[in-house]
Amino acid sequence: MKKTILEVENLHVQLGQRMINQDISLSIKEGEIVGIVGPNGCGKTTFFNAISGFAPIDTGLVSLNGVELNKLSPHKRAQTGLARGFQNVGVFKEMTLEENLIMAIENAEKLPWYWMFSKKISKRVNNKVEKTLKEFSLLTHKKSLAGVLSGGQLRLLEMAKLKLSNANLLLIDEPTAGVSPELRNELSNAISSLSQNHGKTVVIIEHDLKFLFNLVDRIIVFVDGKKYIEGLPSEVQKDPRLKEVYFG
Protein backbone atom coordinates (compact mmCIF):
# COMPACT_ATOMS: atom_id res chain seq x y z
CA MET A 1 0.00 0.00 0.00
CA LYS A 2 1.53 3.26 -1.10
CA LYS A 3 1.82 6.16 1.29
CA THR A 4 -0.45 9.21 0.83
CA ILE A 5 1.64 12.29 0.03
CA LEU A 6 -1.02 14.96 -0.41
CA GLU A 7 -4.37 14.99 1.33
CA VAL A 8 -6.98 17.62 0.51
CA GLU A 9 -10.23 17.64 2.48
CA ASN A 10 -13.27 19.77 1.65
CA LEU A 11 -11.21 22.61 0.22
CA HIS A 12 -13.03 25.89 -0.44
CA VAL A 13 -11.22 28.87 -1.96
CA GLN A 14 -12.99 32.18 -2.28
CA LEU A 15 -11.42 35.13 -4.12
CA GLY A 16 -13.40 38.32 -3.60
CA GLN A 17 -17.07 37.45 -3.89
CA ARG A 18 -16.43 34.43 -6.11
CA MET A 19 -16.06 30.87 -4.84
CA ILE A 20 -13.31 29.46 -7.08
CA ASN A 21 -12.87 26.00 -5.53
CA GLN A 22 -15.74 24.24 -3.80
CA ASP A 23 -15.59 21.22 -1.57
CA ILE A 24 -12.61 19.55 -3.22
CA SER A 25 -11.34 16.39 -1.56
CA LEU A 26 -8.61 14.22 -3.00
CA SER A 27 -5.53 12.31 -2.06
CA ILE A 28 -2.36 11.70 -4.02
CA LYS A 29 -0.25 8.62 -3.41
CA GLU A 30 3.51 8.38 -3.48
CA GLY A 31 5.00 8.05 -6.98
CA GLU A 32 1.72 8.75 -8.79
CA ILE A 33 1.36 11.06 -11.78
CA VAL A 34 -2.06 12.70 -11.60
CA GLY A 35 -3.53 14.95 -14.28
CA ILE A 36 -6.04 17.73 -13.66
CA VAL A 37 -8.12 18.88 -16.59
CA GLY A 38 -11.10 21.14 -17.05
CA PRO A 39 -12.32 24.12 -19.04
CA ASN A 40 -10.72 27.54 -18.65
CA GLY A 41 -11.66 29.30 -15.43
CA CYS A 42 -12.71 26.14 -13.59
CA GLY A 43 -10.23 26.77 -10.76
CA LYS A 44 -7.34 24.43 -11.63
CA THR A 45 -4.55 26.98 -11.15
CA THR A 46 -6.30 28.42 -8.07
CA PHE A 47 -6.27 24.90 -6.65
CA PHE A 48 -2.49 24.78 -7.18
CA ASN A 49 -2.17 28.27 -5.69
CA ALA A 50 -4.14 27.22 -2.61
CA ILE A 51 -1.94 24.16 -2.08
CA SER A 52 1.30 26.08 -2.61
CA GLY A 53 0.24 29.05 -0.47
CA PHE A 54 -0.41 31.75 -3.06
CA ALA A 55 -4.19 31.76 -2.60
CA PRO A 56 -5.93 31.85 0.78
CA ILE A 57 -7.80 28.73 1.85
CA ASP A 58 -11.29 29.62 2.98
CA THR A 59 -12.16 26.32 4.64
CA GLY A 60 -10.81 22.81 4.36
CA LEU A 61 -7.57 21.08 5.13
CA VAL A 62 -4.44 20.52 3.06
CA SER A 63 -1.68 18.30 4.36
CA LEU A 64 1.57 17.22 2.78
CA ASN A 65 3.65 14.34 4.11
CA GLY A 66 1.43 14.45 7.19
CA VAL A 67 2.08 18.15 7.86
CA GLU A 68 -0.83 20.58 7.77
CA LEU A 69 -0.08 23.32 5.24
CA ASN A 70 -2.97 25.73 5.75
CA LYS A 71 -1.12 28.27 7.87
CA LEU A 72 2.33 27.94 6.31
CA SER A 73 3.81 30.55 3.96
CA PRO A 74 4.77 29.40 0.43
CA HIS A 75 8.47 28.99 1.25
CA LYS A 76 7.69 26.96 4.36
CA ARG A 77 5.46 24.72 2.24
CA ALA A 78 8.36 24.30 -0.18
CA GLN A 79 10.56 23.25 2.73
CA THR A 80 7.92 20.66 3.67
CA GLY A 81 8.42 18.95 0.30
CA LEU A 82 6.40 20.84 -2.29
CA ALA A 83 7.81 22.24 -5.55
CA ARG A 84 5.88 24.10 -8.16
CA GLY A 85 6.05 24.84 -11.88
CA PHE A 86 4.24 27.88 -13.26
CA GLN A 87 2.01 28.50 -16.25
CA ASN A 88 4.39 31.24 -17.44
CA VAL A 89 7.48 29.09 -16.72
CA GLY A 90 9.07 29.22 -13.28
CA VAL A 91 12.63 29.97 -14.28
CA PHE A 92 14.72 33.10 -13.95
CA LYS A 93 15.23 34.33 -17.49
CA GLU A 94 17.82 36.93 -16.48
CA MET A 95 20.03 34.25 -14.97
CA THR A 96 22.08 31.62 -16.74
CA LEU A 97 20.92 28.01 -16.83
CA GLU A 98 23.75 27.19 -14.46
CA GLU A 99 22.58 29.82 -11.95
CA ASN A 100 18.99 28.60 -12.18
CA LEU A 101 20.06 25.10 -11.24
CA ILE A 102 22.51 26.32 -8.60
CA MET A 103 19.63 28.11 -6.88
CA ALA A 104 17.66 24.87 -6.76
CA ILE A 105 20.68 22.97 -5.38
CA GLU A 106 21.46 25.67 -2.79
CA ASN A 107 17.95 25.49 -1.42
CA ALA A 108 17.63 21.71 -1.61
CA GLU A 109 20.96 20.98 0.03
CA LYS A 110 20.96 24.03 2.32
CA LEU A 111 24.49 24.89 1.27
CA PRO A 112 26.37 27.36 3.48
CA TRP A 113 26.57 30.95 2.17
CA TYR A 114 30.32 30.61 1.51
CA TRP A 115 30.08 27.38 -0.49
CA MET A 116 31.38 28.96 -3.71
CA PHE A 117 34.70 29.57 -1.94
CA SER A 118 35.03 25.87 -1.10
CA LYS A 119 36.62 23.88 -3.93
CA LYS A 120 35.10 20.62 -2.75
CA ILE A 121 31.51 21.90 -2.68
CA SER A 122 31.96 23.90 -5.89
CA LYS A 123 33.14 20.80 -7.72
CA ARG A 124 30.25 18.75 -6.41
CA VAL A 125 27.70 21.43 -7.36
CA ASN A 126 29.24 21.84 -10.82
CA ASN A 127 29.12 18.09 -11.46
CA LYS A 128 25.49 17.99 -10.41
CA VAL A 129 24.61 20.95 -12.65
CA GLU A 130 26.36 19.41 -15.67
CA LYS A 131 24.84 15.99 -15.12
CA THR A 132 21.35 17.47 -14.86
CA LEU A 133 21.78 19.73 -17.89
CA LYS A 134 23.00 16.74 -19.90
CA GLU A 135 20.02 14.67 -18.78
CA PHE A 136 17.68 17.39 -20.06
CA SER A 137 19.70 18.02 -23.28
CA LEU A 138 20.62 21.56 -22.21
CA LEU A 139 24.34 21.22 -21.48
CA THR A 140 25.42 23.35 -24.47
CA HIS A 141 23.46 26.28 -23.01
CA LYS A 142 25.01 26.06 -19.54
CA LYS A 143 26.38 29.62 -19.55
CA SER A 144 23.57 31.18 -21.61
CA LEU A 145 20.85 33.32 -20.11
CA ALA A 146 17.66 31.31 -19.73
CA GLY A 147 15.85 34.10 -21.60
CA VAL A 148 17.41 32.99 -24.91
CA LEU A 149 15.93 29.48 -24.73
CA SER A 150 12.90 28.38 -26.75
CA GLY A 151 9.58 27.70 -25.00
CA GLY A 152 10.24 23.96 -24.93
CA GLN A 153 13.77 24.34 -23.61
CA LEU A 154 12.50 26.65 -20.88
CA ARG A 155 10.07 23.94 -19.81
CA LEU A 156 12.88 21.39 -19.76
CA LEU A 157 14.92 23.75 -17.58
CA GLU A 158 11.94 24.05 -15.25
CA MET A 159 11.77 20.26 -15.05
CA ALA A 160 15.51 20.14 -14.33
CA LYS A 161 14.99 22.59 -11.46
CA LEU A 162 12.11 20.52 -10.12
CA LYS A 163 14.26 17.42 -10.30
CA LEU A 164 16.98 19.06 -8.22
CA SER A 165 14.57 20.27 -5.55
CA ASN A 166 14.29 18.07 -2.49
CA ALA A 167 10.50 18.09 -2.87
CA ASN A 168 8.61 14.85 -3.22
CA LEU A 169 5.47 16.48 -4.63
CA LEU A 170 5.67 18.50 -7.85
CA LEU A 171 2.82 20.67 -9.08
CA ILE A 172 3.26 21.40 -12.78
CA ASP A 173 0.96 23.92 -14.44
CA GLU A 174 0.37 23.54 -18.20
CA PRO A 175 3.81 22.23 -19.16
CA THR A 176 3.05 22.11 -22.88
CA ALA A 177 2.08 25.81 -23.16
CA GLY A 178 4.36 27.34 -25.80
CA VAL A 179 6.11 24.03 -26.52
CA SER A 180 6.55 22.79 -30.09
CA PRO A 181 5.06 19.35 -30.94
CA GLU A 182 8.60 17.93 -31.44
CA LEU A 183 9.64 18.83 -27.90
CA ARG A 184 6.45 17.55 -26.29
CA ASN A 185 7.69 13.95 -26.38
CA GLU A 186 10.92 14.96 -24.72
CA LEU A 187 8.95 16.87 -22.09
CA SER A 188 6.67 13.90 -21.49
CA ASN A 189 9.72 11.65 -21.02
CA ALA A 190 11.23 14.18 -18.63
CA ILE A 191 8.09 14.22 -16.47
CA SER A 192 7.89 10.41 -16.50
CA SER A 193 11.52 10.25 -15.49
CA LEU A 194 10.88 12.61 -12.55
CA SER A 195 8.42 10.06 -11.24
CA GLN A 196 10.07 6.78 -12.22
CA ASN A 197 13.77 7.56 -11.78
CA HIS A 198 13.72 10.28 -9.16
CA GLY A 199 10.81 9.14 -7.01
CA LYS A 200 8.76 12.32 -7.34
CA THR A 201 4.99 12.44 -7.13
CA VAL A 202 3.58 14.68 -9.86
CA VAL A 203 0.31 16.57 -10.31
CA ILE A 204 -0.11 18.21 -13.71
CA ILE A 205 -2.64 20.69 -15.01
CA GLU A 206 -2.86 20.33 -18.77
CA HIS A 207 -5.16 21.19 -21.65
CA ASP A 208 -3.54 18.81 -24.14
CA LEU A 209 -5.56 15.70 -23.32
CA LYS A 210 -3.57 13.41 -25.64
CA PHE A 211 -0.33 14.42 -23.91
CA LEU A 212 -1.90 13.88 -20.52
CA PHE A 213 -3.66 10.56 -21.15
CA ASN A 214 -0.38 8.98 -22.29
CA LEU A 215 1.48 10.23 -19.24
CA VAL A 216 -0.65 10.02 -16.12
CA ASP A 217 -1.88 7.26 -13.82
CA ARG A 218 -5.07 9.06 -12.85
CA ILE A 219 -7.18 11.93 -14.14
CA ILE A 220 -9.29 14.42 -12.21
CA VAL A 221 -11.72 16.66 -14.08
CA PHE A 222 -12.69 20.01 -12.59
CA VAL A 223 -15.87 21.85 -13.57
CA ASP A 224 -16.99 25.14 -12.01
CA GLY A 225 -14.48 24.77 -9.20
CA LYS A 226 -15.68 21.30 -8.20
CA LYS A 227 -14.25 17.84 -8.72
CA TYR A 228 -16.47 16.38 -11.43
CA ILE A 229 -14.86 13.13 -12.63
CA GLU A 230 -12.02 11.06 -11.26
CA GLY A 231 -10.56 7.83 -12.60
CA LEU A 232 -8.01 6.02 -14.71
CA PRO A 233 -7.18 7.69 -18.05
CA SER A 234 -8.87 4.83 -19.97
CA GLU A 235 -12.06 5.24 -17.91
CA VAL A 236 -12.19 9.02 -18.06
CA GLN A 237 -11.49 8.98 -21.81
CA LYS A 238 -14.64 6.89 -22.36
CA ASP A 239 -16.77 8.83 -19.91
CA PRO A 240 -19.46 10.72 -21.88
CA ARG A 241 -19.34 13.51 -19.27
CA LEU A 242 -15.84 14.48 -20.49
CA LYS A 243 -17.19 15.27 -23.96
CA GLU A 244 -20.01 17.18 -22.34
CA VAL A 245 -17.48 19.27 -20.39
CA TYR A 246 -15.42 20.16 -23.45
CA PHE A 247 -17.98 20.23 -26.26
CA GLY A 248 -21.26 20.92 -24.45
Partner 1 sequence: MGYLYDIISRFLNHLTSGVSGQQNFQQAGIFLLSLPVAYSFSAYSSTILNKKFGVEIYSAIMLGIILSFFLGMIFSYLYNKVSKDSFTVLSLSSILAFDAFVRSFDSLTGGVLGISGVIRPQLFRTIQDLILLSLIISIGALCFHFIIQKSPMGRKIRALKEHPNVLETLGSSKKTTATFVISSGFLLASLSGILDIYRIQFLDPSFGGIPNLIILLSISILAYKPQVKSLILATAFVICIPELIKFLNFPSALLGHLRTLTYSTLLITLLFKLSNQETSIKRET
Q: Tell me which residues touch partner 1 (CB under 8 A).
A: 52-54, 73-75, 78-79, 82-84, 86, 90-95, 99, 102-104, 106-108, 111, 113-117, 147-148, 165
Q: Helix count (H) and strand count (E) of the chain? A: 9, 10
Q: Which is nearer to partner 1, 146 or 219 (CB)?
A: 146
Task: Provide the 8-state DSSP code for 91.
Answer: S
CB of 186 to partner 1, least distance (A): 22
Q: How far is the CB of 167 from partner 1 (least distance, A)?
A: 9
Supply φ then ψ for residue 227, to 5 degrees: -75, 120
* CB of 77 or CB of 218, closer to partner 1: 77
Q: Which is nearer to partner 1, 159 or 242 (CB)?
A: 159
Distance CA 170, CA 192 (A): 12
Beta carbon nearer to partner 1, 102 or 215: 102
Report the residue number, 98 or 206, with the smaller CB distance to partner 1. Answer: 98
Q: What is the distance between the alpha carbons of residues 88 and 247, in angstroms, rounded to a whole number?
A: 26
Report in angstroms how near the CB of residue 107 gets to partner 1 at its nearest: 4
Phi, psi of 40 (to 5 degrees): -55, 140
> Helices (DSSP H) in the chain: which residue ranges?
44-52, 74-80, 97-109, 119-135, 151-164, 181-196, 209-213, 233-238, 240-247
Helix (H) or strand (E) holding 124: helix 119-135
What span, in angstroms and rounded, lies between the C-alpha atoms of 133 and 89?
17
Kindly state the smallest distance separating residue 6's Cβ from partner 1, in Å: 15
**CB 182 to partner 1: min, Å:** 21
DSSP 145: B
Minimum distance from CB of 118 to partner 1 (Å)? 12
User: Rounded to 5 degrees, what are φ and ψ at 110?
Assistant: 50, 55
Give the CB-side neighbour count of residue 30, counting CA atoms within 13 A: 9
* Residue 23, SS3 per DSSP: strand
Nearer to partner 1, 44 or 218 (CB): 44
